Every structure is written in structure tokens, then in C-alpha cells.
Amino acid sequence: MDKFTTLTGVAAPMPLVNIDTDMIIPKQFLKTIQRSGLGKNLFDEMRYDDQGNEIPDFVLNQPAYRKAQILVAGDNFGCGSSREHAPWALADFGIKAIISTSFADIFYNNCFKNGMLPIVLPQEQVDVLMKDARKGENARIAIDLESQTVTSADGHVFSFEIDPFKKHCLLNGLDDIGLTLEKVSAIDTFEAKAAQARPWV
């Protein structure tokens, strides 16, 4: 997993509340267990019409936001079913951070496991960043995980809270496998002792 330290990029405004995981990646795309390739189906039912043509008004179809790395979203982002394909699709599209007033718990935790940073801020601060995001590619939002700050294009600095363990994992690019590999020498020692003590196993 890539390390997350700082990010400065275009933010796409998505002010809808209760964006659920079926809106993020509809159920017909859940057949794969591959993390790559889902970005093209992100927000599929909002991005495309029944013939598969792009809907021009949808934010990620607009030229300014086609390479957005940040979403500024409405309240309760990621609610609904616990499908991990939702953060997979966001990450595959190129989204690295999501800013909202609140997230569904399972989605929030899945973000960290997939190298994305979900940031919770008060409504008034999200409103400032939403206004920034509507300026398009000329307005870039900066995120510094080490200092736990978000800086708007106009220089407003907002602090956010994050669990220290989750912060450590993102800063060091550690998913569940990476965390396990940090203990590889202890695991090897345990297995060697176990093999001596129980050679029949």
C-alpha cells in the first residue's frame, strides 16, 4: 500500500447526503475480487445513462474534475452495505481523500485499509471546502496527515482528528498484510520453536 503523507489536488464537490455504497459501486459490479478496474464503474448510475453514455452534468464527467483526488461530500458518506468494493472503486478512480461531516463506520475503516484518508470536519468547515471545490481545477486543497490539517485554496487551515494507529498505518503504507509482515521475525521464531516442540505437526 502506498504511503499517505501530504496531498494537494483538485477536489470534486458532491454535496449529496447519504451517498451509499450502492451509489458508489452498484451491485452488478461486485462479482470481481480484483481491486483494479472498478474506477470506470464508480458512481455508475449517476455517471452514465442507460446507453452507457456519460451524463455531462455529473461532477466527475466535467473536465475540471476528471482527475480529482479529493471528494468533498455531504453527511453520512458511505452508508448502506459494507461492500469493500466501494473504497476499491474510489481508489482505482484516483480518489485519495474524502472530506465530510460524517461517514458510515464500516466504510470509514475500509478507507484506511485501502490507503485512503477519510476526514471528518464540522459542517461550517466542510461548507468552506465545498465552496472551494466548486471553483474547479483552479482551486486546490492541501492535506497534511502528519500535522492533521486541511488547507483551502484561500489559505483557511482546518485541523482534523484521527486515531493514532490509523494515522501510523497510512503514513507508513501499512495494510493488514503489511502490519503482519512487521512481525515476520517474531513469527519465524515462533514457527521454528513450534516445529521443534511438535515435529509431527
Query: Does 182 score more than 80 pLDDT?
Result: no
Kindly indicate the confidence band of residue 177, based on its pLDDT and cuts at 50, 70 and 90: low
How far is Cα 95 from Cα 14, in angstroms, rounded to an integer? 13
Q: What is the pLDDT of residue 188?
A: 66
Spell out the domain ranges in the chain: 6-197
What integer pLDDT is reported at residue 155 of this predicted model? 94
Give pTM, 2 decimals. 0.88
Which percentage of the chain shows pLDDT scores above 90?
75
What fold characterizes domain 6-197? Answer: Aconitase; domain 4 (3.20.19)
pLDDT given for residue 88 in this prediction:
96
Own/partner long-range contacts of 185-192 (Cβ < 8 Å, ≥24 apart): none
Across residues 148-168, what is the average pLDDT? 96
Per-residue model confidence as pLDDT tens digits over 87-141 = 999 999 999 999 999 999 999 999 999 999 999 999 999 999 999 999 998 889 9
Question: Taking phi first (over 0 means left), then psi (-120 to 50 degrees means alpha), and beta for anything else, what does residue 53 get?
Answer: beta
Angstrom distance (rounded) from CA 120 to CA 33: 29
193 backbone φψ class: left, alpha, beta (φ>0; ψ -120 to 50) = alpha
pLDDT given for residue 178 in this prediction: 65
Give me the pLDDT at residue 137, please. Answer: 84
Q: Using an 8 Å Cβ cutoff, are 68 and 136 in contact?
A: no
Length of the chain, please? Answer: 201
User: 76 pLDDT exceeds 80?
Assistant: yes
Beta partners for 141? 9
Q: What is the mean pLDDT of residues 50-61?
A: 96
